[in-house]
Chains A and B, each alone.
Chain A
């Protein structure tokens, strides 16, 4: 079983809705990540939080708003999304934000459909 838990597993929303994706890890990791994965494509980095501070934003549109309330939790707030934002959203964590220091643990993802 994955040690990174994501909820919900599936989400359907309209373009005017506001929803949130949640991610939780209890491994004591200090870096957490949001990735977006389209069908048959590799994951694409969206955001990195290191020690609860946003350290990387890969030019993601403002309709995606990340939040890291504490070192174990990571949220992704969604507002006014477009149908092309439909994808699998993966949360990941690592011991540290320097990739080479260790493994990136992924959750099972939240599959988002925007109507």
Chain B
């Protein structure tokens, strides 16, 4: 089955700096890669996703890049703000027939004011 590795496990940045979280996956059939943000006491919330026919996607301060050859994808947050502090999970899934998201182990991001 799919194995998703995520690094780093913790990340502290100064407010206004950028944050980068990286994930690798093992199954070349995976073709859907969402990123979830989980705040304390809440369920995960989708913040951005990318499909394997796209190399990069941006949504305001958030961007995701995908390298299918190397089987890795990354989340980039620019101009970080204290409200970006949360646990971020990457995930991978095969588009056809699969009903499961394989999550990475999570990154706890702390933005220091």
Contact = CB atoms under 8 A, between A and B. Distances in A.
Interface residues of A, number: 26
Interface of A: 2, 4, 31, 40-43, 45, 48, 50, 55-56, 58, 90, 92, 97-100, 103-109
A108 B41 contact: yes
Nearest to A31: B99
A95 B96 CA distance: 15
Interface in B11-61: 31-32, 34, 36, 41-46, 49, 51
23 contacts: A4-B43, A41-B106, A42-B103, A42-B104, A42-B106, A43-B44, A45-B100, A50-B99, A56-B99, A92-B43, A98-B98, A99-B94, A99-B98, A99-B99, A99-B100, A100-B95, A103-B34, A103-B49, A104-B34, A107-B43, A108-B41, A108-B42, A109-B42
Interface residues on B, range: 20 to 34
A6 to B, nearest CB: 8
A41 B107 CA distance: 10
Contacts of B104: 42
Contacts of B34: 103-104
